[in-house]
Each structure stands twice: as structure tokens, then as C-alpha cells.
Amino acid sequence: MQPTIARVALPVPLDKTFDYLLPGGDLPIVGGRVVVPFGRQSLVGIVIEISEKTEVSLQHLKSISQILDRAPVWSTELYELLRWCSQYYVHPLGDVFNIALPGALRKKRRAEFTSIKEWRLTDIGRNQLMSNFGRAVKQAKVMQMLQSGSVSHQEFIDAEVGSTVLKTLQDKGWIESLETLPKIKHWPSAVESEQEKPTLNQEQAIAIAAVNNVEGFACYLLDGVTGSGKTEVYLNLITPVLERGEQALVLVPEIGLTPQTIQRFESRFNVPVEVIHSGLNESERLNAWLSARDKAAGIVIGTRSAVFTPFEHLGIIIVDEEHDASYKQQDTLRYHARDVAIMRAHKERIPIVLGSATPALETIHNALSGKYHHLQLTKRAGNATPTTNKVLDIKGLYLESGLSAPLIAEMRQHLEAGNQVLLFLNRRGFSPALMCHECGWLAECYRCESYYTYYQKNNEMCCHHCGSRKPVVRQCQSCGSSHVVTVGVGTEQLESHLTDLFPEFKSIRIDRDSTRKKGQLESALASILKGEYQILIGTQMLAKGHHFPNVTLVALLDVDGALYSSDFRASERFAQLYTQVAGRAGRASKKGEVVLQTHHPEHSLLQGLLNSPYGQFGKMVLGERKMALLPPFTHLSLLRAEANDSAVAELFLRQVRLTLESNPLFDETCMVLGPTPSPITKRAGKARWQMMLQTSERSLMQKILLSSKPVIQTLPESKKVRWGIDRDPQDLS
């Protein structure tokens, strides 16, 4: 029989594929993109099969309207990986495909390099470089940026130069634009640059040999204390891969993607390095994607979604800071990039290295059980010295914007010795709440079950759950009193207070608010390294991967919240945070000190952490997890439901519970907990409920979810709620 139809996966929230008639002329290709009519829309989908059979009668079928690709978008291995993601995360295949595609290819763009618009000086313009631009500061900035060569249009936009400024200069005849295709560089025969490399220590050499000695798939945990030279190991592992003509994928956490990291890869190798991050525009991202696919790039460094980058010949995957929470996608396809990367390495039959100073407990468990090879770097590289730590009991002490007198004295010592001090406070804004001093009323977001954070500088209140902003309340909405006070301390308040406390030293704040604009984080980090600031204030953003050789004192201002949390991962998270933050101190030859302020110095978690290295602490917590039947000893999926009406969300989950429990596969090793209201019971106006499914076997979890989902979708309540499945949930709120 003649093939008559194409089965197409479309980016719609339905667990099915759609049949379309083949167009006249060329046949579409399996794994390639096509454009099809869908209702009143036209969608881009992936052909997954060409067939002569369809269950729909032919006269009801529509035709494919356009064929976009002549070749499959992905290799067989990557295509299989995406199918695995769809099954494992119980997510529609068409949507998985869509998420894995770069934005440009989700639209009807061709999978071809696109030209990038650039600007350069004309001869007339070059003669104007010395002119006085007076108040035309933006024009002066453009001319200055162009002084040493052409600059892309996007770079100007990022530098907050608008199109009109460029147009003005173009009209004057001083600058001109040109469209250029990215230059495809050829790989040189010497993949490494001439740069001097440190002599490896014994542990590093052993780790490198271990990975190089095995062929095919193997998973390694590179368990190395902060500053022990893990990056140096990665670089050494990549060299032979490139020499064989294969490529390397390096995954980094969102915030770990700093110029420092990228620069180390770029300066070590002569092959092109592509960096994939959220700041790229659509064309840049497509070019990076193509450059990896066509082996123009030797190394791709990227955040979470880079795990789906196509390669002509991938030779190794490295996941740096593998414990980092940003590897887990928190909406739609809730994948964990580390876990997907391991599956990818397996399918591609290549090694994967997971690096961390504070591995996830799941990873430690796999290393202890022999599933992963355990490689250890126990000493700091170079001449860095270990830190000392001190618990400061602040019970009854007066705190000035969160700082106790002994800490202030300690800070003064370090500052006066010419060193930098890092203050860690995981709370943005001026204060985490505003309260009526007369009656205790708290300003609460009307759309969420949460208090407004107060921002003094912008004179507004902001809800960190839904992002809504409001002018500051001047009057209590309960008793009418105008005596509204701030409660608690956030980084903004700490910053303003430090200026009074240490007028002779400069401080800088690094959190999500102060680094919202592109380039802000980079320039802040650069000025810290140059020593322009002596006091660094930061949230967990500052705890990650940075190398500040002059920081000798790190203080955690408030650790009590972490000691009393209901989330079973809280102790693991806190241990990671503490170890990472502490790792910022004494990275160079200067001795570092860590101070923790707490009201509970005797707390067992704190004592356990301070008195044993992270790995040993991890084993202890794993023991507790085993007793409590928690991951990694069991498997979890969180089912969430949101609705305007709380009762509807609860009722829906009750029905889901019945569905799960009546599944023939559900046995005595399975358990359902809930439904219960979510820890954040209301967000953006929606009531939130959740329920946990626990199984002892991973494969059973998979089978139960896959076979129950179609039944759940037929529940009448399912139409009235927004619901989703979160496999291996990381965030239980």
C-alpha cells in the first residue's frame, strides 16, 4: 500500500499524535518539522511516522501545509532521549519536542545559520573619534564601543543604546551596518592553547586516568571540596576528546555561568566554544545550536536546557555543581537536567562526570552503592588553606540590621587588614514584612498567601510569589493606625546600614534584584575582583562557584530558618549552602574564617555539619532517609492542582487518589499521602493543593503514572483545575 498519512507530534497539552494527509510532491521526513493546520491555528510539529493506516476516515483529515526540514532535526540518540523524557516525566511528546527546539525552530524558520546585524565606523566616522560629543553621551558611547572593531546590534541593545541613536549616527554617515553570517572557524590541529597549565596533583591525575581508561558509558562523581581543582580536571578530560575530533558538553547552574568560568575554557582551547544561556536572542541561540550540530563548536557550555543541544559527535558530558537546584525545571516539562544528561550519556555510550563539593544525597547514594564511580579530591589545590569556623550564639544580643556586636568587631578586623568580607543573607528587599505596631496586622498579598516584602529605595511592596507590586501601605488596614513598622532584615536594609556602620569601606549587594539587567552581575563580579568593594552582601547567588581570593571572612547572618523547616530536603540544602558559602573564604593563600549567627548553637544539624565533613554528614542524613523511607530509598511524584475554588482542587485530588489506588499495579509497596493544601496555599489568586505518590520501585512509579494519566484526564473535575505531575520533585512548595 502507498503511504498516505503522516503522524505528527504537536506542541499541545494532549497525550496523542495527529494524522495528516501527505502533501503532493515531496514527502516529509520522519524526525523533520512540518507546518500543519490545527483548528484555526497553524502549528509546527515533528513527523514521527509515515503510514498507510489511520483510524480517522480520510475525508476528515487535513493536509500538511509545509515541509520545513529535509533531514531529521535530531540524531537517533537524541530523538530517543526526548521520547524517554516524555515517558519518564509523563509529558506530551509534542511538547517535549517543542521545549527541546531552539525558539527559532519552534517557528517556521529554516535550520540554517542566520546573519547577525553588525555596526562599524565609516572613514568619516573614524575621523570623528576625537570630537567632543557634549551631552550626546549615548552617541559618544557608540563611537567608543566601535573604536576597536565592529559590534553587533544586539550588543548595543544590551548596552542600552537604542536604535534611534544608531540611526542618527548612520544618517550622519559616521557608522554603517552590515549583515554577516557567523564565521565558521576550523578546528586547529593543536586543540590546546599554549597557555601554561598547573601540574596536576595526584588525586587529579587519578581522577583523569579513571575516566580516560573506560570506553563507552560510565558515570563518575567527581567529589571535590571547593577549590580542589575540579575545573582543572574537566579541562584535562576535554583535551583528549577534542583531539579525537569529538565534542564536549558542559552543563553549569544558571548563576555559575560567569565570565570567569567561560574564560577558563576559552583560553585553554583553540577550538570554538559556544555558550548557551537565557540571555541569547533567537538568532544567536539558533546559531549556537547549529554550530554544535555541525561540529563548528568543540565545546558547548550551557545551563539546564543545553542538555538538549544536538552534536555531530558528542564525546563527554560534564555536569558542574550537579547538586544545584537550578537543574530542575519548575514548570511544564519538569525535567532534571542532570538526570537527563546521565540518560543521554547512556544512549550516546559516552562518559559523564558529575562534579560537586556538595553532591546531592541521591548522587552520594549512587556512588556509595557502586552505580557511579566515586572520584575524590580531598585537598584544596595550590596553596589554599582550610577555613576555621565559629558559631556565634546571638540569643539576647542586640542586632543592628541583623549584625551582632561580636560580628561587627570581627568584620572590622578583617577589613582593616585589607581583606574582603562576605555577608550572606538569603532574603531580598529591605524587610520581609510590614506590620502594624498597634495591632500586629501584616501587609499581605491579596492574591497569595504571603506577606509583601518592603523595598525602601523604590518605596514599594512586592510579593515574591506572584511578582505583584504596590505602593507602600501608610495605614493599617485593620485598626487604621499609621504606625506601620518593618519586620526582619533583608539585603537592601543590610546594605544601607553598612554604609553608616563602615563609612570608610564600600559595600556591594548581589541578589536577584541588583542583577536583573543583563551584564550587571558580570560587572559587579569584576569590580569585586578588582577590589573596588570590601564588603559583599549576597543571597545564595553569591554562594555559587565564584572565586574571590581576597575574601577572608564569610558570615551567615541568620541560619535559624534552615534549622526548622518541614521540607525533608532542608538539612541537605542547608549543608550544601553552608559548605559552599564557607568555600568562598580563604580560596587563595589567606586563611579564611566562617561565622554563623544563630539562636540555636546546640542544634544537632548545626553541630553535625560543623564537626564532620560534608560527605560524612551526607551519610548520616542518608541513614535517616532510609529509616523514614524517603528518597533515594523510595521514589516520589508530587501531583499538584490549582483552582479558583479550593474545594474543587481538593475534590479533584481526592478522585486522583482513588484512581491511583484502584490501578491494578498499585500494590503494598505504594503509598499516597494527601491531598493536603500546598505549603503556599494560595498563589496568584489560585488555591493550591498537592498529593504525594510514593513507590519503592522507580519502574513501578512510571507504569502507574502512565496508565493512570488517561483515566485522570477523563475525570470531570480535571477540566476545572490546572494540574500537573512533578516526578522526583525538588521543591515541595
Annotated binding site for Zn(2+): 436, 439, 445, 448, 463, 466, 476, 479
Q: Whose Cβ is closer to ligand ADP: residue 263's or residue 475's? A: 263
Q: Which window, 309-317, 468-476, 517-525, 673-681, contacts Zn ion (CB under 5 A)?
A: 468-476
Instruction: Please check whether residue 418 is in contact with residue 531, taking contact to mean a CB–CB distance below 8 angstroms.
Output: no
Q: Which window, 56-64, 457-465, 663-671, 698-706, contacts Zn ion (CB under 5 A)?
A: 457-465
In the complex, minimum distance from the CB of residue 224 to ligand ADP, in angstroms, rounded to a whole number: 5
What is the C-alpha separation between 488 and 674, in angstroms, rounded? 33
What is the C-alpha separation between 475 and 480, in angstroms, rounded? 6
Q: Whose Cβ is closer to Zn ion: residue 436's or residue 596's? A: 436
Return the beta strands (E) in 557-602 as ranges. Answer: 593-598
In the complex, minimum distance from the CB of residue 226 to ligand ADP, in angstroms, rounded to a whole number: 5
Q: Which window, 321-329, 357-365, 412-420, 465-473, contacts Zn ion (CB under 5 A)?
A: 465-473
In the complex, minimum distance from the CB of residue 258 to ligand ADP, in angstroms, rounded to a whole number: 12
Helix (H, G, I), strand (E, B) or coil at 500: helix
Nearest CA among 672, 681, 674 for reference residue 643: 681
Q: Which residues contribute to the site for ligand ADP (CB under 6 A)? A: 198-201, 204, 224, 226-232, 381-382
Q: Whose Cβ is closer to Zn ion: residue 158's or residue 449's? A: 449
In the complex, minimum distance from the CB of residue 732 to Zn ion, in angstroms, rounded to a whole number: 19
The residues facing 498 across adjacent strands are none
Helix (H, G, I), strand (E, B) or coil at 672: strand
43 binds Zn ion (CB under 5 A): no
Instruction: Please check whether residue 555 is in contact with residue 421, taking contact to mean a CB–CB distance below 8 angstroms.
Output: yes
482 binds Zn ion (CB under 5 A): no
In the complex, minimum distance from the CB of residue 466 to Zn ion, in angstroms, rounded to a whole number: 3
441 binds Zn ion (CB under 5 A): yes
* Residues tagged in the binding site annotation: 436, 439, 445, 448, 463, 466, 476, 479
Q: Which window, 21-29, 230-238, 274-282, 444-452, contacts Zn ion (CB under 5 A)?
A: 444-452
Helix (H, G, I), strand (E, B) or coil at 363: helix
In the complex, minimum distance from the CB of residue 300 to ligand ADP, in angstroms, rounded to a whole number: 19
479 binds Zn ion (CB under 5 A): yes
- How do 507-510 and 535-538 pair as beta strands? parallel
Among ligand ADP, Zn ion, none, the one that 448 touches (CB under a kind-dependent 5 to 8 A) is Zn ion
Among Zn ion, ligand ADP, none, the one that 198 touches (CB under a kind-dependent 5 to 8 A) is ligand ADP
Q: Which residue is nearest to ligand ADP (CB)?
A: 229
Find the binder of Zn ion among 352, 448, 562, 588 (CB under 5 A). 448
- How do 351-356 and 218-224 pair as beta strands? parallel
Q: Whose Cβ is closer to ligand ADP: residue 98's or residue 420's? A: 420
* CA-CA-CA-CA dihedral for 359, 364, 370, 371, to nearest 10: -70
Residue 696: which residues within 8 A CB-CB, separation 6 or more?
Answer: 634, 635, 669, 670
104 binds Zn ion (CB under 5 A): no
What is the C-alpha separation between 689 and 687, in angstroms, rounded? 7
What is the C-alpha separation between 706 and 714, in angstroms, rounded? 14
447-464: b (≥16 Cβ within 10 Å) or e: bbbbbbbbbeeeeebbbb
Q: Whose Cβ is closer to ligand ADP: residue 98's or residue 231's? A: 231
SS3 string of 192-231? ECCCCCCCCCHHHHHHHHHHHCCCCCEEEEEEECCCCCHH
- How do 635-643 and 722-727 pair as beta strands? antiparallel
What is the C-alpha separation between 320 and 359, in angstroms, rounded? 10
485 binds Zn ion (CB under 5 A): no
Q: Whose Cβ is closer to ligand ADP: residue 129's or residue 205's? A: 205
462 binds Zn ion (CB under 5 A): no
Q: What are phi and psi of 287, to 5 degrees?
A: -60, -40
733 binds Zn ion (CB under 5 A): no
Number of residues that bind Zn ion (CB under 5 A): 14
- How close are the terminal C-alpha atoms of the chain, in Å? 54
In the complex, minimum distance from the CB of residue 202 to ligand ADP, in angstroms, rounded to a whole number: 9
466 binds Zn ion (CB under 5 A): yes
477 binds Zn ion (CB under 5 A): no
Q: Whose Cβ is closer to ligand ADP: residue 382's or residue 608's? A: 382
What is the C-alpha separation between 390 and 385, in angstroms, rounded? 16
Among ligand ADP, Zn ion, none, the one that 200 touches (CB under a kind-dependent 5 to 8 A) is ligand ADP
475 binds Zn ion (CB under 5 A): no
Among ligand ADP, Zn ion, none, the one that 447 touches (CB under a kind-dependent 5 to 8 A) is Zn ion
Whether residue 632 has a cis bond before it, omega within 30° of 0: yes
101 binds Zn ion (CB under 5 A): no
In the complex, minimum distance from the CB of residue 147 to Zn ion, in angstroms, rounded to a whole number: 47
Q: Where does this chain bind Zn ion (CB under 5 A)?
A: 436, 438-439, 441, 445, 447-448, 463, 465-466, 476, 478-479, 481
